[in-house]
Chains A and B, each alone.
Chain A
Amino acid sequence: MANIVIDGKSFTVKDGITIIEAIDQVKSELPRYCYHPGLSIAGNCRICQVEVDKMPGTVIACNTRVAEGMVIHTQSEKAKDSQKVVLEFLLANHPLDCPVCDQAGECKLQDYYMEYGVYDSHFDETKVKKTKKGVSVGPTIMLDQERCILCSRCVRFGDEITKTHDFGIFGRGDRAKIDIYPGKELDNKYSGNVADICPVGALTDKDFRFKMRVWYLGKQESVCPGCSRGCNISVEFEKSRPYHLKNDRVMRLKPRENKDVNQWWMCDEGRYAYKSIDQNRIKAIKASRMNPQWKDTLEEVAGILKKASLSAWGLIASPQNTNEELYLTKRLFLDTLKWKQAAFKAPGQDGFEDNFLIKKDKNPNTLGAEKILNLGANEDMTAIVEKAKRGELEGLFIFNHDLAKIFGAETLKVIRQKVKTIIYQGTNLNPTAEIADIVLPAVTYAEKDGTFTNFEGRVQRIRKAVEPFAGTLPDWDILLNLAGLLGLTLKYLRPEHIFDDLAKENSAFKEMNYKKLGNTGLIWSQ
């Protein structure tokens, strides 16, 4: 360990880390463009100048290692001056087109330009002409060469993270420019990350481009439901002008740092899957009576379930649901109603997997469902579906799964013919919801609180980013109401309370609570 002083405050940090790492660890501030904790050190932008006692001039914090007794100044006149000098160089050939730049509001160049007050440009010469202004470099990303400050983050990302070697710096001196190889495309499964790491508006996300100014965005910490990795994300949504884009509330997802899960990254599939939060949603209840409301519909469902014979109904639970919801599912269907036929796993649904982030299991909570429902060999739903096809079931309660997608439209048709009552609870429209007798509109992960358990048993929180659409309810809320009508009185106000009981009952979640899970989750105890 090394005892160091940063801006007058003493800290003890690990030996041999860089000054910038120490600054980040103690949550101090220092400008940076090329430095990124997930990439190799380039040291080229030169903005992270700090003053260190007994060292001449200023040094860059990203490539200077701490030593015992080091006294570091980030805010001294010498340090600030040096940072400002570098900033002026970075701005020399930058177009300063902030009013038409989509990065405005989250641009580090703009931020520091304002902060350091470099308004009065000394640069009176003609700027170097870099040809590519707003050109597509692939399905997800636009490139604007003249805004680029050549920090090389995107080059290093392609070389070190995806190993797809997409970007290069062509030419030298002030003629150098970033580009992809002529005729090739930036088309890898993590391409969206380059827009995140670009500190300026040179690489922007086509999906988000010009959709809205970032200062209108609200942010909520969550977890991507796209696969069992559980990448930590920030759900970014329309905050102050909900009328602006009508029902498109969620604008984008951004990865959120979690060194143990996704580091700083997320895949494109997860990144652009947010549209299902606002589009193609089930917003209306379907029940036997016209114009059904929640109260009478749940009463109807309760009535059906009360009469249902244990052996003639099948439950198909969902690994898309939270741990809390699966716990309620277990309490209600398995413990209280004592249904014999329950499953949650869909066969043959494995998708693409790589050795980085993307997992083949496209559900966020398969492990949670396994541990909580504890169905053992029966977790695969095929047996139930086969029974349904043979007409051996009188009813099915399906959470979120689309049987047409899993087993084919023909199977769904047969099931419809052979099964008298089908109750569907889910978020988005699909053929299964279409043919159900009763449809209970649930909310997506962005509209509720809860937890998912990822592929390695890490329990992580999702948080409500936007309010549910009118007429929709979180699964946990629906289940609580249904339980009450079926004689199982549970006094939970929030998912957090459900989780506390789950932690008491299920040893995998032992001694966990929301506070302990924090922002990055905990691996369960076995």
Chain B
Amino acid sequence: MTALPTADSRFRGNDTLSALDHEAQKIVAKYDEKRAAVLPLLHLAQDTIGYVTPEAMEWTAKWSEVPVVHVREVVTFYSMYHQKPVGKHHIRFCTGTSCVLRGCESQLNYLKKKLKIENGDVTPDGKFSLEEAECLCNCEGAPMMQVDKDYHVDLTEKKTDEILDGLK
């Protein structure tokens, strides 16, 4: 099974980029044109470093042969790319229509109070960051949130406690 890098492998700094060259080569080779590798290369860099650094943009530009200014356009266009560090565990809290109908506002407020952060913030210990997300398409489990890779559905305050408290 193909697993993405886990949260534990993050925060290793920019010097890890060159260690990713071999992986980059494999990614580029999958596509009919190198430029198509921009998104996966950025994912790889972000999954490794924790966010997209300027060096990661240059590195992506190099491998994809896309001008770095356009790599930056991509980084700023997509909501999943971060230009500054996020928490060790990044939370995307769904605020889509179905979740609103099922009470996501009070669940979100509970989470904010629990972590003492607002949308876009990182907890002082760097453990959690919060992003209010548009529909994550798990509407049948509303209200829901994504923590790192996983979707957590049918949220209650108790469940949120269990999920977050269970994370290292």
CB distance from B154 to the nearest CB of A (A): 31
Of residues A159, A165, A166, A180, which shows the largest number of chain B Cβ atoms within 10 Å of its Cβ?
A165
Verify if A168 is at the interface (C-beta below 8 Å from B): yes
| Pairwise interchain contact B69-A171, C-beta atoms closer than 8 A | no
| Pairwise interchain contact A169-B54, C-beta atoms closer than 8 A | no
A320 to B154, CA, bound (A): 81
| Pairwise interchain contact A182-B54, C-beta atoms closer than 8 A | yes
Of residues B54, B69, B72, B73, which shows the largest number of chain A Cβ atoms within 10 Å of its Cβ?
B69
| Pairwise interchain contact A181-B76, C-beta atoms closer than 8 A | no
A130 to B33, CA, bound (A): 35
| Pairwise interchain contact B77-A181, C-beta atoms closer than 8 A | no
| Pairwise interchain contact B73-A170, C-beta atoms closer than 8 A | yes
| Pairwise interchain contact A165-B67, C-beta atoms closer than 8 A | yes
Verify if B68 is at the interface (C-beta below 8 Å from A): yes
In the bound complex, residues from chain B placing their C-beta under 8 Å from that of A165 are 67-70
Q: What residue in chain B is nearest A170 (Cβ atoms)?
A: B76
Q: How many residues on chain B are close to A (CB under 8 Å)? A: 9
Q: What residue in chain A is nearest B77 (Cβ atoms)?
A: A172
CB distance from A502 to the nearest CB of B (A): 49
| Pairwise interchain contact B69-A167, C-beta atoms closer than 8 A | yes
A168 to B66, CA, bound (A): 12
Chain A 141-183, CB-CB to B under 8 Å as 1, else 0, gives 0000000000000000011000001111111100000001111
In the bound complex, residues from chain A placing their C-beta under 8 Å from that of B68 are 165, 181
A165 to B69, CA, bound (A): 7
Within A251-281, the residues touching B (CB, 8 Å) are none
| Pairwise interchain contact A171-B54, C-beta atoms closer than 8 A | no
In the bound complex, residues from chain A placing their C-beta under 8 Å from that of B72 are 168, 170, 181-182
| Pairwise interchain contact A169-B73, C-beta atoms closer than 8 A | yes
Q: Is the interface of B mostly helix, strand, loop or mixed?
A: helix
CB distance from A472 to the nearest CB of B (A): 47
Chain A 407-450, CB-CB to B under 8 Å as 1, else 0, gives 00000000000000000000000000000000000000000000
In the bound complex, residues from chain B placing their C-beta under 8 Å from that of A158 are 69
| Pairwise interchain contact B76-A171, C-beta atoms closer than 8 A | yes
In the bound complex, residues from chain B placing their C-beta under 8 Å from that of A172 are 76-77
In the bound complex, residues from chain B placing their C-beta under 8 Å from that of A166 are 69
Within B52-88, the residues touching A (CB, 8 Å) are 54, 67-70, 72-73, 76-77
Query: Which of the residues A168, A182, A183, A184 comes within 8 Å of B70, measured between beta carbons?
Result: A168
CB distance from A148 to the nearest CB of B (A): 15
CB distance from A162 to the nearest CB of B (A): 12
Of residues A158, A180, A181, which shows the largest number of chain B Cβ atoms within 10 Å of its Cβ?
A181
Interface residues on A, range: 10 to 19
Chain B 6-30, CB-CB to A under 8 Å as 1, else 0, gives 0000000000000000000000000
In the bound complex, residues from chain A placing their C-beta under 8 Å from that of B67 are 159, 165
CB distance from B123 to the nearest CB of A (A): 26
A168 to B75, CA, bound (A): 11
In the bound complex, residues from chain A placing their C-beta under 8 Å from that of B77 are 170-172
In the bound complex, residues from chain A placing their C-beta under 8 Å from that of B54 are 182-183
A414 to B131, CA, bound (A): 78
A158 to B67, CA, bound (A): 11
A180 to B70, CA, bound (A): 10
Q: What residue in chain B is nearest A177 (Cβ atoms)?
A: B76
CB distance from B39 to the nearest CB of A (A): 15
Q: What residue in chain A is nearest B76 (Cβ atoms)?
A: A170
A181 to B67, CA, bound (A): 10
A169 to B68, CA, bound (A): 12
A165 to B68, CA, bound (A): 8
A170 to B69, CA, bound (A): 9
A525 to B71, CA, bound (A): 50
Q: What residue in chain B is nearest A181 (Cβ atoms)?
A: B69
In the bound complex, residues from chain B placing their C-beta under 8 Å from that of A170 are 72-73, 76-77
Within A173-211, the residues touching B (CB, 8 Å) are 180-184
Q: What residue in chain B is nearest A165 (Cβ atoms)?
A: B67
A184 to B67, CA, bound (A): 12
In the bound complex, residues from chain A placing their C-beta under 8 Å from that of B73 are 168-170
A180 to B77, CA, bound (A): 15
A158 to B76, CA, bound (A): 19
A184 to B58, CA, bound (A): 13
A362 to B114, CA, bound (A): 71
Q: What residue in chain A is nearest B79 (Cβ atoms)?
A: A172
A159 to B69, CA, bound (A): 10
A165 to B73, CA, bound (A): 12
A490 to B81, CA, bound (A): 76
| Pairwise interchain contact B69-A180, C-beta atoms closer than 8 A | yes
In the bound complex, residues from chain A placing their C-beta under 8 Å from that of B76 are 170-172
Known interface pairs A159-B67, A169-B73, A181-B69; 17 further A-B residue pairs with C-beta atoms within 8 A, sorted by A's residue number: A158-B69, A165-B67, A165-B69, A165-B70, A167-B69, A168-B69, A168-B72, A170-B76, A170-B77, A171-B77, A172-B76, A172-B77, A180-B69, A181-B68, A182-B72, A183-B54, A184-B69
Nearest first, the 6 A-B pairs at minimum CB distance are A165-B67, A168-B69, A170-B76, A181-B69, A168-B73, A171-B76
| B residues whose Cβ falls under 8 Å from a Cβ of A | 54, 67-70, 72-73, 76-77
- List 26 A-B pairs, Cβ < 8 Å: A158-B69, A159-B67, A165-B67, A165-B68, A165-B69, A165-B70, A166-B69, A167-B69, A168-B69, A168-B70, A168-B72, A168-B73, A169-B73, A170-B73, A170-B77, A171-B76, A171-B77, A172-B76, A172-B77, A181-B68, A181-B69, A181-B72, A182-B54, A182-B72, A183-B54, A184-B69
| A residues whose Cβ falls under 8 Å from a Cβ of B | 158-159, 165-172, 180-184
